Amino acid sequence: MNTIIMSRLLRRMLPVALLVLSGTWQVTAHAETNCAGGTCVFGGSGNGAMSNEQARQSKEEWNATRTLRDQRIQRQERDNAQYEQAAALRDRCNASRNINAYWEPNTQRCLDRVTGNQLLAP
């Protein structure tokens, strides 16, 4: 009796299993040709004016952000160079043999205590 139940179950489940298997095979076949986000490249008539315009706009946007990024980097380098130059000048002023030399932090200059004039070579 146990073999009869198994043979009936197998006869009923085999077509269902084959149908499910063929359905999943078709889904994977369709998924391979699906292009997400417009990343597919087609030859011939598949390349339209709209996709060319989107590519041009994307390139313009990339170039603009690259230009802004380069400007920001240059500004940071310039600011760092100014800071390093001021720090070096402060160190030279503090290490100066001139006893009247002092560093003015607000103006970032080395000044003479007596006259208040800027010292060119501390």
Q: What tens digit of pLDDT does each residue of 19-77 get?
A: 777 767 665 555 555 555 556 655 555 567 778 888 889 999 999 999 999 999 999 99
Domain ranges in the chain are 48-122
Most distant CA pair in the chain: distance in Å?
A: 118
The secondary structure element, H or E, covering residue 104 is: strand 101-104
Task: Specify the pTM.
Answer: 0.42
- pLDDT tens, 20-33? 777 676 655 555 55
Contact 111, 117 (CB under 8 A): yes
Going by C-alpha positions, the residue among 87, 114, 90 that lies closest to residue 104 is 90
Contact 37, 51 (CB under 8 A): no
